[in-house]
Amino acid sequence: MTTTRRGAVPLVLAALVALAVSCGGLPGPGSAPETAGPGASTPAEVTGQTFEEDVELIKRLTEEFWVGTFEASGRTYRPLQGFVPYSGENGPECGGQPSVPNNAFYCPVGHFVAYDEQWMRELYDRMGDGSVYLIIPHEIGHAVQAQLMSDFELNQQRELQADCYAGGALGALVRGGSLTAEPGDEDELLLNLAAAGDPEDAWWRPDAHGTAEQRQTAFAEGYNNGVDSC
């Protein structure tokens, strides 16, 4: 996805909104802005023609969006302290726990996001750049939860809110002109969300993320209604 070439953000997801799950919103006064925040790049300034450029682009734009969103709520967003690609089992530890292959994660100890670069590149090549434009905003969504000290009874609630935050950030970036969606982006995005869904609604599991429909719905809620609806 870029501002001129390809994309992963759907323009229309209204059909999913009616099924949207409820998740906790960003507290504080004001509403989330429709732009990526102060200092956001214009479409002419961003490229994103390769995997590496897409990864860096959506990381930067998503954090710019959250800077503006936190400011509108009277808060200060703390940028990630690290954005770490790794390979297989050679990733960074998080709180004494080793990283695992084929994964991306936010680590509150150190306030960083890490991702298995080969795994995400394979998703990018096989399923389109929608994978990058979902995974990175989702993990940054967990960084937002940590800064807001969000509390959840179930891991599934945490994950679905991160999906909603990802949709809210991408929707605002598209509406603000920092990213451009193209025909076919909706199908690509929903395909990536479906592939990441749990095979069954085992909501009690400590690793539950939500079914394909639940994840699609949570993302659509954020995309159409903004992060305040998450």
Residue 21 scores a pLDDT above 60: no
Task: Identify whether the C-beta of residue 6 lies closer than 8 Å to the C-beta of residue 147.
Answer: no
- Mean pLDDT for 142-168 is 95
The whole-number pLDDT of residue 16 equals 33
CB within 8 Å of 122: residues ≥ 6 apart: none
- Mean pLDDT for 180-209 is 77
- Mean pLDDT for 198-202 is 74
Question: Tokens for 192?
Answer: 């990536």
- 3-state class (DSSP) for residue 37: coil
- What φ, ψ does residue 21 adopt, rounded to 5°? -80, 160
Nearest Cα to Cα of residue 28 among 63, 76, 65, 61: 76
Residue 19 scores a pLDDT above 70: no
* pLDDT tens digits along 30-43: 233 333 333 333 33
Is the pTM of the predicted complex or chain greater than 0.85? Answer: no
Tally of CB atoms within 10 A around 187: 12
Nearest Cα to Cα of residue 85 among 124, 43, 126: 124
| pLDDT band with cut points at 50, 70 and 90 for residue 194 | confident
Phi-psi region of 96 (alpha: psi -120 to 50; beta: other; left: phi over 0): left
Average pLDDT over the chain reads 80
